[in-house]
Amino acid sequence: MKKYADLVVVAVVLALVPVLAGGSPYYMRLATLALVYMAWTVAFNLIFGHTKQLFLCLGALAGSAAYMTVVFTKQLELSPWITVPIGVATAAGLGALFSYVSVLRGLGIIFLGIVTLAFSLIFHNLVLGLRQFTNGETGLVSRGLGFPLLEQPMSSYYIFLGVLLVALIVYYLLMASRMGMAVRALSDDELTAELSGINVTWYKVLAAAVASAILGLAGSLYAFYNGIVSPSVFSFVSVDIPVLIALLLGGMRTRLGPIIGAAAFAVIEELVRPFGQLNVLVYGVLLIVLFVAFREGLVPMLRKTLKLSLP
């Protein structure tokens, strides 16, 4: 059990956050959003960190799941217990498809980035175009459709904490299995991995599918929690960029990196709030600086400078 001590620490610390927030609805919402971004960053760590697949469609995948869930709940009056799995399966299927096509066609990291970015544009356009289902730019009201517990701040926080812990447990279990060895190998050199007997295609597609399912689960529940699902909630700027920053900041291929990175991003977001629309500029500069000068991330840096054995 000692191997999972960090998971217990994360769970306990995050479970105590509402006490610190002292029931302030504003801080509760910030903390809940931070949990959603943490789950998304854990997923992105699996896709980009461990299997080097540059998915620039995180918002579109989470959004596909969210729209599928809300539209099906609304139009067909299905229970969210059925529609959330539909949304999750949609995201997982799309993620697996992008991954499979990219491996099959031998797309490099840049071309996969372009293909998935194109999907982001298509998704955005589709949401605007299918006005009769999605209500276009204005978005769909999802309040009252989903789980009653997601309408209250306190219970919502713990539901998203549960989602994050599920994501982390799935991630830990996969990494402790033979997949951990396989992705360690293939993230360093895919051909060498293949020649060592590792089914590179399978592990890349599996990582993409599992991670996309996590993106979709958090996305679908977030759509209910948010009370409204609109293109701007799942846009490139509101999902992909924060998650990229969080992962680079925290440290790729680490367990705690996505958690620390997404928490740090939540703080940064609060700090740049006074800049208004210029916040994206700050994020852009931050992303460039991270890619150019700080690709390692906080967790590996702390390991080196403070000689900590952080997972």
| Contact window for another protein (CB under 8 A) among 32-40, 56-64, 156-164, 179-187 | 179-187
Residues with Cβ < 8 Å from 147, sequence gap 6 or more?
Answer: 80, 159, 221, 224
Q: Where are the alpha helices (DSSP H) in the chain?
A: 5-21, 25-44, 58-75, 80-104, 109-129, 131-134, 153-176, 178-188, 190-195, 200-226, 241-250, 257-272, 279-293, 298-306
| Contact window for another protein (CB under 8 A) among 14-22, 78-86, 177-185, 298-306 | 177-185
| Contact window for another protein (CB under 8 A) among 88-96, 137-145, 191-199, 297-305 | 191-199
For residue 104, state whether it binds another protein (rule: CB under 8 A): no
Give the residue from 54, 87, 107 showing the smallest Cα distance to 214.
87
**Rounded distance, CA 259 to CA 251, Å?**
10
* Nearest approach, Cβ of residue 201 and another protein (Å): 8
Q: Exactly one of 108, 176, 189, 270 binds another protein (CB under 8 A); which one?
A: 189
For residue 195, state whether it binds another protein (rule: CB under 8 A): yes
Answer yes or no: are the C-beta atoms of 255 and 164 closer than 8 Å: no
Residues with Cβ < 8 Å from 162, sequence gap 6 or more?
Answer: none
Answer yes or no: are the C-beta atoms of 189 and 124 closer than 8 Å: no
Give the nearer residue to another protein in terms of CB position, either 130 or 195.
Answer: 195
For residue 192, state whether it binds another protein (rule: CB under 8 A): yes
For residue 188, state whether it binds another protein (rule: CB under 8 A): yes
Q: Exactly one of 30, 97, 117, 181 binds another protein (CB under 8 A); which one?
A: 181
Q: Exactly one of 169, 199, 289, 291 binds another protein (CB under 8 A); which one?
A: 199
For residue 296, state whether it binds another protein (rule: CB under 8 A): no
For residue 191, state whether it binds another protein (rule: CB under 8 A): yes
Q: Exactly one of 86, 115, 182, 233 binds another protein (CB under 8 A); which one?
A: 182
CA distances from 273 to 101, 260, 290 (A): 39, 20, 20
Give contact residues for another protein (rule: CB under 8 A).
178, 181-182, 184-185, 188-189, 191-201
